[in-house]
Structure 1
């Protein structure tokens, strides 16, 4: 009898799982022709990612995408920064136009650019948590979700003295566990109702058209202040003054997300 060694690679479905190599020994008679051996590997399922449609619907309902209250108010929001290239230009425009916005920061970027973080807060803007490294938390294990949120909270507070109370999930992707962990750590979960698609390399005209088409009272408008397709957000910067001018022309008051939520 000869022995054939078969190596099996078993990968868990959680985002933090690593490959585990196991060895199986199959005995094959010498007189028989050795053919490929198929071994059925049991499917590994983690209960963290078995989510019912009802639970997922409840998770989505926990996200604040707009705020329907009396008055013409909207909130400009920016994701994924800060950086040293686009963040200063956006802040300068907002300062010139006397507009306050909300910045959802990525923890590792905040750590790399503490002066930009201080500038955002010093100029009166609101800060929100956007995870540590923009991981899709809806596919992550519970401990990873916790660390992504808490690490970002910690670095924001360390740099600015502000403990963020807003959280926006990367890609807007939420799960019941993301909702549980973010709300459990004292955050309101913020989405958006107007996606400018500025990150996708849209032209200035297209960005402005997206705002005109989708904006309504209580809207939360999504833009970016770092990253973007091929790292280019020049059109975001160029479109911003036009967006502000259009919204003001239509009678909107531009506020931060906390102001939008608390408005009566």
Structure 2
């Protein structure tokens, strides 16, 4: 027989288990309701506005780089930008001349499709992530900084799923219309938002509208960025034109481009990079259809960094500086050859070619910042484990 102490313990267990679960669940739900406050908007510029260049933070960033050698090129106007009647010599203007310089616009290996999505995160992003997960496809997401501050949990979800994060500026303004200092502010605030949310300091960026010239390139390279556009009009999905162009026509046009590429067969020497968006339910539906068609065509769909054979497509993880930038000419990065021991500022670099970046980086950053999402998971998991043991 059980003595009275045993009976008391058993009664306590019977009472405490459901009570503990209820308390833990309530606590978890309270934490969950606060997850969206992971980034404080008050610490960032106004959403969708070009950041001021006279703030203490931007002044600090400007003091860390030398822009004195920037080419003198007239600023453009318009958003999207208007093409000037005469393009100045030596400008190499992608938007109006299709001049790409050493920007990344294709994958070096044939049958590889570098798939990209611009302008997120948005409420359309989670359904897209779910679809990509179902198809076991990884993509490059060019993130708008102000949207990152609004939806940081979506960015964490992207990197945890193994997708490649990259910058699409803070306010989505045409960079050839901005001053050098404004470009720095646009890029660095976006960089900070992504790094604060995930621990990753991005190294790839896509100019809004693909708008880049040699002056903009100079500034972006000074900041350590690899510029990525796409493989011309052929692989611009035009999903951003919906509903001006019907969703059916958008899908049909891009499928024709995919069919023409695959029909070329052995004549193809390189792969391509597409332009798509995670903006709405319509653009997600377009992505679902086009990806399905690409898979049926036996194309290898992957991130831009993967198609470039770049093992570590970030500047830093949790403050640890990583390897050098990719070489777009041959699709290799310094991680695949001789890894430099220091960056341009003399900081020690770490060979992370075999580092499991997504989980190690995000989990470390979240714990470091006391992420509410992580507290939620720890609270709920611990509660269930303890409850089960009693």
Give TM-score, length-normalised by structure 1: 0.75
Matches within 5 A, 1:1-264: 47-49=72-74, 52-56=88-92, 60-69=100-109, 71-83=110-122, 85-193=123-231, 194-201=235-242, 202-215=245-258, 216=261, 217-226=270-279, 233-262=280-309
Distance change (3 Å), C-alpha of 1:81 and 1:209: same
Q: Secondary structure of 1:96's partner?
A: helix
Taking the aligned partners of 2:135 and 2:246, their CA distance within structure 1 comes to: 22
8 Å CA contact 1:48–1:142 kept in 2: the answer is no
Q: Secondary structure of 2:172's partner?
A: coil
The answer to which structure has the higher strand fraction is 1
Corresponding pairs, count: 214
Q: Which position in structure 2 is the counterpart of 1:23?
A: none
The answer to which structure has the higher helix fraction is 2
Q: Secondary structure of 1:254's partner?
A: strand
Taking the aligned partners of 1:161 and 1:169, their CA distance within structure 2 comes to: 22
Deviation of 1:52 (Å): 2.9
8 Å CA contact 1:16–1:141 kept in 2: the answer is no
8 Å CA contact 2:139–2:164 kept in 1: the answer is yes
Taking the aligned partners of 1:151 and 1:109, their CA distance within structure 2 comes to: 12
Taking the aligned partners of 2:146 and 2:93, their CA distance within structure 1 comes to: 31
Taking the aligned partners of 2:178 and 2:170, their CA distance within structure 1 comes to: 13
Taking the aligned partners of 1:16 and 1:123, their CA distance within structure 2 comes to: 31
Distance change (3 Å), C-alpha of 1:48 and 1:235: same
Deviation of 1:208 (Å): 2.2
RMSD of aligned Cα (Å): 2.4
Gaps of 5+ in 2: 1-49, 53-70, 76-86, 262-269, 310-330, 333-390
Q: Secondary structure of 2:115's partner?
A: strand
Deviation of 1:213 (Å): 3.0
Q: Secondary structure of 2:129's partner?
A: helix
8 Å CA contact 2:51–2:186 kept in 1: the answer is no
Residue-by-residue CA offset, 1:11-52 (whole Å, 9 max, x unaligned): xxxx999xxxxxxxxxxxxxxxxxxxxxxxxxxxx9441773
Taking the aligned partners of 1:49 and 1:123, their CA distance within structure 2 comes to: 42
8 Å CA contact 2:73–2:91 kept in 1: the answer is no
Q: Which position in structure 2 is the counterpart of 1:36?
A: none
Deviation of 1:221 (Å): 1.1
Residue-by-residue CA offset, 1:126-171 (whole Å, 9 max, x unaligned): 0111010001111111100111111111111111111111110011
Residue-by-residue CA offset, 1:108-137 (whole Å, 9 max, x unaligned): 110111101100101110011101000111
Q: Secondary structure of 2:224's partner?
A: coil
8 Å CA contact 1:93–1:241 kept in 2: the answer is yes
Q: Secondary structure of 1:56's partner?
A: coil
Taking the aligned partners of 2:188 and 2:206, their CA distance within structure 1 comes to: 13
8 Å CA contact 1:129–1:167 kept in 2: the answer is yes
